[in-house]
Amino acid sequence: MNRYNIKQMIQVSNLSKSFDTIHAVNNISFSIRKGEVFGLLGPNGAGKSTIINLMSTILKSDEGEILINENDIKQNSTICKQLIGVVPQEISLYDEFSAVDNLIFWGSLYKVPAKILKQRIKNILKLIGLYDRKDDLIKTYSGGMKRRINIAAALLHNPEILFMDEPTVGVDPQSRNKIFEIIETLNQQGITIVYTTHYMEEVERLCKRIAIMDAGKIVAQGTQTELQKQSNVKEAVQITFQLISEVQLEQLQSQLQIKINQSEQKIIIECDVNKDLSNIISICNKSNLRIKDIKLKKANLEAIFLSLTGKQLRD
Ligand SMILES: Nc1ncnc2c1ncn2[C@@H]1O[C@H](COP(=O)(O)OP(=O)(O)OP(=O)(O)O)[C@@H](O)[C@H]1O
Ligand SMILES: [Mg+2]
């Protein structure tokens, strides 16, 4: 079978892993399509790294099945390992080696032939924007630069899938943006990416589909719109007026034909912000209501996460 026709790149079914009494991963199932960036979003200890370690054969599951491009990870681990590149949560580089020597070391572990490896290292260093620093020792690199070399090390055997476990922790905003660009470029080249993080804005920017994790379970999964529906979080706009009377409020309500909640000079309207906002403002203007302030309450992942788990994602 031509593997490029296979839609599901990763299928995880009823996966469980415990450490003594801790159910780190508790009966989890999800699928990841070829070519997508899939986000695993959850707080500290949710089980994200454990899932990455199970999918990359570093850990063995207690129960459940993992298929990588239809290969069972337990029966065909060699094929699976070739398909996967792993960017671990902890940076694993030799400080006393140069960047290029670190990459030669990692490439030789994957048995990439020397000549191919040399060319690949060059291309990857250019991709991550560190080609001109290639001969500098890792100990002279910033945290963000080390993270980028960590990503490069995972790409040397040309994997079709990249697991990235919190790749932006401890990096400056400039390196973070560079890492996002690298991910977008790799994805455009067809690489399937699994991205773990507890930063919602990263998932919102990068991931087409998301699994929200908490305490070893997937609480909800889908696109952001699907998650919003599951969580019942509504978008709204809050408008504060200079002055609004009871009569004006009633008129506004009948014109808008949307239920509005009022407290003092403020109203809150649940609506599709992108679609409805300009119409709401125009009706207010026509009614001679002077707007003092407008606040958007978007149904972002933060609100969705809170509604699904009862917790703030950030500690
Ligand atoms: N090797 C281990 N031995 C014992 N317990 C472990 C081990 N690895 C993970 N755990 C426990 O399993 C749970 C899930 O940990 P995991 O590292 O998968 O979480 P995480 O979502 O990656 O968290 P973080 O955002 O902090 O990286 C935690 O309670 C953790 O303490
Ligand atoms: Mg982790």
How far apart CA 106 and CA 100 sit, in angstroms, is 10
Q: Which atom of ligand 1 is nearest to the CA of 43?
A: 25
Tens digit of pLDDT for each residue in 11-21? 999 999 999 99
How far apart CA 190 and CA 310 sit, in angstroms, is 36
Please choose from 17, 19, 212, 309 the residue to mutate so as to test ligand 1's pocket, defined by most ligand atoms within 8 A of CB: 19
Strand-pair category, 161-165 with 192-197: parallel
Q: Which atom of ligand 1 is nearest to the CA of 46?
A: 21
Tens digit of pLDDT for each residue in 145-166? 999 999 999 999 999 999 999 9
Whether 217 lines ligand 1, by a CB cut-off of 6 Å, is: no
Q: How far is the CA of 245 from the centre of ligand 1 (A)?
A: 56
| pLDDT level of residue 1 (50, 70, 90 thresholds) | very low
Q: Tell me the mean pLDDT in the region 105-114.
A: 91
Whether 83 lines ligand 1, by a CB cut-off of 6 Å, is: no
Q: Which two tokens stand for residue 22?
A: 């801790």
Tens digit of pLDDT for each residue in 47-59? 999 999 999 999 9
At the topology level of CATH, where does 3-230 sit? Answer: Rossmann fold (3.40.50)
H or E segment and range at residue 303: helix 301-309
How far apart CA 248 and CA 256 sit, in angstroms, is 12
Three-state secondary-structure class, residue 68: strand
The pLDDT assigned to 314 comes to 65
| Stretch among 4-8, 218-222, 244-248, 303-307 having the lowest mean pLDDT | 4-8
At the topology level of CATH, where does 234-298 sit? Answer: Alpha-Beta Plaits (3.30.70)
How far apart CA 306 and CA 29 sit, in angstroms, is 22
Domain ranges of the chain: 3-230, 234-298
Q: Which atom of ligand 1 is nearest to the CA of 213?
A: 21
Cβ pair 150, 167 in contact under 8 A: yes
| pLDDT level of residue 246 (50, 70, 90 thresholds) | confident
Q: Which two tokens stand for residue 195?
A: 């991205």
Whether 45 lines ligand 1, by a CB cut-off of 6 Å, is: yes
Strand-pair category, 192-197 with 209-214: unpaired
Q: How far is the CA of 165 from the centre of ligand 2 (A)?
A: 7
Average pLDDT, the chain: 91
Burial profile 101-138: b = 16 or more Cβ within 10 angstroms, e = fewer: ebbbebbeebebeeeebeebbeebbebbebeebbeeeb
Tens digit of pLDDT for each residue in 174-187? 889 999 999 999 99
The pLDDT assigned to 307 comes to 87
Report pTM: 0.86
